Amino acid sequence: MSRLAIEYGAHERVREVVDRLTYCAEHVSVEFDGWEEPRVKGPGLYFAVVADRDYGAYADSMGDNRWPRQSCATVFDEDAFVDAAGTVSVEQDGGVVVAVDGEIEAQMVRFRDLGTRSGESDLVDDVDYESWMGSRHMSAIETSVRPEVVATVTLSEETGRVSVFRDGEATSMRRHELGGEWRAE
């Protein structure tokens, strides 16, 4: 019996979900004015787009850290999503789980252990960390190798850098690279 398999990484609607997370993180970064201050802690975000809502096998609850689903349940709720992300970025800690359909889980989590690549049973041990990566980014790159995770997106609270991780690979933009002409409001 064959299983229905969808290549979520190439699916147009899922790519739109990842893009919305990325643009939202960029917006939060650009809106914060204190990046140049010494020892600043700015807004920080960690999103994980998952294809399977049974993520409990590799994630633990972050207690009272919650996404405000009552005001924003999906990444497609434009203004509410940006507002909620701005608030969560300074008031909460943990990973925000987003389903491939854009629905956002209320409970924020801590992802644990390295994942396995699709078709492999051993944990990945060849993830390349870069010197700029802090614990949020290291977790995001590790989580991105799991077959049930399409991508992870982070906003660094130290530098404002926005990064997208897919299958253990990072695409990253430093804060001064964000908000180019094509995104002018």
Report the percent of the chain where pLDDT is more than 70: 81
Token pair 């409970």 in the structure block, residue: 107
Per the model's pLDDT, the better-predicted residue between 123 and 19 turns out to be 19
Provide the pLDDT for residue 120. 61
Angle at 146 between CA 61 and CA 6, to 5 degrees: 110
Confidence check: pLDDT of 114 > 70:
no
- The pTM (predicted TM-score) of the whole model is 0.85
The strand pairing partners of 109, in sequence order, are: 61, 95
- State the Cα–Cα distance between residues 43 and 94, nearest whole angstrom: 12
Per the model's pLDDT, the better-predicted residue between 127 and 88 turns out to be 88
pLDDT band at 12 (very low <50, low <70, confident <90, very high): confident
Provide the pLDDT for residue 112. 82
The strand pairing partners of 171, in sequence order, are: 164
